[in-house]
Structure 1
Amino acid sequence: MGNGTAGPPPAGAGHSIAALVLGILLILLIVGGNGLVCLSVCTERALKTTTNYFIVSLAVADLLLALLVLPLYVYSEFQGGVWSLSTVLCDALMTMDVMLCTASIFNLCAISVDRFIAVQIPLNYNRRQIDLRQLILISTTWIFAFAVASPVIFGLNNVPNRDPSLCQLEDDNYIVYSSICSFFIPCPVMLVLYCGMFQGLKRWEEARKAKLRGCIYGANRKLYHPPTLMEREQTRLGLLDCSSPYARAGLPGECGMNSGIQTVSYPHLRYPHPGHGHKRAKINGRERKAMRVLPVVVGAFLFCWTPFFVVHITRALCKSCSIPPQVTSTVTWLGYVNSALNPIIYTVFNAEFRNFFRKVLHVFC
């Protein structure tokens, strides 16, 4: 089914039972994992970051998929691909399926936009709390996702000679349109933004290493020299350069320690406006690690959903192409499996998520 034209999957008691067992396990895994993601960001202070609010939006899309779409899809698979419920419910299912799949990739795009801004325009980025721009980004993903899916619920599927025993998208032009809007346009945009983000992050890393080398060298040179009168005065005014061993952490110098996290500021990213001459853009180790998790999330999404959309659009554009029902069923299941992967990825690659999950599991196990 997915948001494609789904013919009946292979019939048989074995297939039906396997679909039922796989479906129930997948629903439980998606609900449990993504529920923990939402709970962890809501309760753990260390996880209340701007990036993680986007991750919560992505988790909500996966949760809704497990609660609103998968049960009916599993029921249909258990019935051998025959739709025995009303066409109105089928249209609602197709709408939710298209919308939530689209919301997932739009949320990934929103994350890429947010991270690109954080790296390329850091002085205008609020790292402490979610701001209006980020709220607009998250809201826009859901509005656009509904806009892509809404034609189905507004009657697009009500075509003459519709077969009520199949729940599928009936309009081939809409299939092409939704595939392009939901996948084939967002994916290249997202990849370009991530390339720009990592180029910027690479520059940050190079500048950080160069500045740290300069700090260590300067500190070693002055290690045994008492502070001069000028240095004491600079320290009092908060203007001492990090090359002096007497620079205090947290002052607007070139480097320092803040809450145990070493931060480095970069002269080429100073505010150009008068009065902001000493304000520098900073990025910490936790944020750099969080950015490196995102390509894994995007890679998993592309691995799971690319086969589905290729089959999906091929069925609409090539009427003479014969795609076996087994292939359609397999790529649809693979797409749904992606909703269970993200919490696993966060657990493997993010220590804060891992610690929270371990703490919750320890309580119940």
Structure 2
Amino acid sequence: MGAEEAVINATRNFIANNSTEIKEETPFAGPVMVILAVMMVMLVVVTVSGNALVIFAFKVDKSLRRQSNYFFLNLAISDFLVGAFCIPLYIPYILSGRWKLGRGLCKLWLVMDYLLCTASVFNIVLISYDRFLSVTQAMSYRAKQRMTKQAIGKMIAVWVLAFLLYGPAILFWDQVSGRSCVPLDECFAEFYYTWYFLLSASTLEFFSPFVSVAFFNLSIYLNIRRRRLSGAQPKAAREVTSPAESVRLSSQFYRHSLLFTSKKASSAPAANDEEDKGSLDSQMSSPPVSRVGSCGGAHRSRLSRDKKVAKSLAVIVCVFAVCWAPYTLLMIIRAACKGDCVEHHWYEVSFWLLWLNSAINPFLYPVCHSSFRRAFTRILCPRWRKSSRHHVEPP
């Protein structure tokens, strides 16, 4: 009996120790863990598939290959890599509470995560600036739409600047300081509690970009409002309808008409002279309305297009602010108080908002841009496109 009791006690101790380790390794209960796992996997699927659709649309649809759309492609690439690399590696870490993939992969994951999220922000700034130029400098902007080399240079600059902001600090912080403050079973950056570094980096990563995109959006709004209230016509229309231009056109028309009537007078009765003169006077008094009307229509069309640009940019900026502001503020507060004044679950929620932004961005393209909407329709509904062609009513 003594031996049996010893075996039973040893079994109980083994189960108790293992259950304690399981509880430490799994911070969530069984049903909660299943729900979280399903939600995370769904987020990965949506992020990867949505951004892959944008990249594929850009590849197959040549009409999208304009300078402005290259910046949307760059944003889609960064968001795609967030869903394909960053989130999948984080799922077992958050569910188990332990990082089991080693220090080398931890640093690689941190570099990629900070790089991709920062590149996403910088791409939004670049898109906002591009939209700003399309409204305020329309003529020169349209002339540069086919200059893809300049667009590719800006795309590369986004990735370089995004890496320089956090990459060297993640890779060499422990070597410069001479020690590491990260436990072996956890994975976070060495500057996790260094508030002055986080404040400086956040100024470049969130506050400055947010102020920039807000400025661009406000400038676009004021430009459109000023044009709508003034009702001014385009420069071409003003030149055509100016008094000097009208006098010049009238004098030319008068000279050609006199030549025509002098030839006609030699063979026509004198009674027709008054009729010809009356018709000539009526033609001289009528302004060239066709060109004025066409210029006015072009002005209204451009104003309508710029309004759509402003609305789409406003939506992207608002989503960016909602997804990034909580994380940035909580990160600085947590670092300043050494993690004692912010509950960890609130930080996790704000952290996932960043990745949620990468899943939302692909759905903003078809909503805000007709060119992407048409490209997505061609890819996702090819049969509908063919049937719509066959069912066109004959003229």
TM-score w.r.t. length of structure 1 = 0.74
Of 279, 286, 311, 1:292 maps to 311
Which position in structure 2 is the counterpart of 1:278?
none
Which position in structure 1 is the counterpart of 2:57?
40
SS at match of 1:166: coil
Which position in structure 2 is the counterpart of 1:66?
83
Q: Is 1:263 aligned to 2:298, yes or no?
A: yes
How do 1:55-204 residues align onto structure 2 when only pairs under 5 Å count? Answer: 55-79=72-96, 81-125=97-141, 126-157=143-174, 159-171=179-191, 172-173=193-194, 174-204=197-227
Q: Within 1, Cα distance between the matches of 2:50 and 2:66?
A: 19
Q: Is 1:356 aligned to 2:353, yes or no?
A: no
Q: CA deviation at 1:285?
A: 4.6
Match of 1:177, as an amino acid?
Answer: S
> CA-to-partner distance for each residue in 1:170-221, whole Å, 9 max, x for gaps?
22334333322211222112212221232223334446x4439x98xx99xx
Which position in structure 2 is the counterpart of 1:240?
none
Distance 1:34 1:9, change over 3 A: farther
Of 300, 307, 310, 2:329 maps to 310
Q: Is 1:244 aligned to 2:264, yes or no?
A: no
Match of 2:358, as an amino acid?
Answer: S
Which position in structure 2 is the counterpart of 1:237?
none
Q: CA deviation at 1:358?
A: 3.1
Q: CA deviation at 1:246?
A: 4.5
Match of 2:348, as an amino acid?
Answer: S
Q: CA deviation at 1:89?
A: 0.8
Distance 1:68 1:132, change over 3 A: same
Query: Relative to structure 2, which stretch is displaced further, 33-42 or 126-135?
Result: 126-135
Query: Relative to structure 2, which stretch is displaced further, 153-162 or 29-38?
Result: 153-162
Match of 1:352, as an amino acid?
Answer: S
Q: Within 1, Cα distance between the matches of 2:114 and 2:351?
A: 12
Of 335, 343, 347, 2:354 maps to 335
Distance 1:105 1:295, change over 3 A: same
Q: CA deviation at 1:359?
A: 3.4
Distance 1:308 1:229, change over 3 A: same
Q: Within 2, Cα distance between the matches of 1:144 and 1:233?
A: 65
Which position in structure 2 is the counterpart of 1:28?
45
Q: Pick the structure with more helix per residue.
A: 2
Distance 1:127 1:103, change over 3 A: same
Q: Please tell me whether the aligned partners of residues 305 and 335 of structure 1 are also in contact (alpha carbons under 8 angstroms).
A: yes
- The alignment covers a number of residue pairs equal to 314
Q: Please tell me whether the aligned partners of residues 311 and 328 of structure 1 are also in contact (alpha carbons under 8 angstroms).
A: yes
Q: Within 2, Cα distance between the matches of 1:93 and 1:354?
A: 34
Match of 2:131, as an amino acid?
Answer: R
Distance 1:157 1:78, change over 3 A: farther
Q: Within 2, Cα distance between the matches of 1:47 and 1:11?
A: 46
Q: Within 1, Cα distance between the matches of 2:98 and 2:208?
A: 33
Matched-pair identity in %: 26
| Runs of 5+ unmatched residues, structure 2 | 1-24, 242-248, 257-286, 385-395
Distance 1:177 1:90, change over 3 A: farther
Q: Please tell me whether the aligned partners of residues 37 and 343 of structure 1 are also in contact (alpha carbons under 8 angstroms).
A: yes
Q: Within 2, Cα distance between the matches of 1:129 and 1:285?
A: 23
- RMSD in angstroms over aligned alpha carbons? 3.4
Q: Within 2, Cα distance between the matches of 1:192 and 1:357?
A: 31
Q: CA deviation at 1:161?
A: 4.7
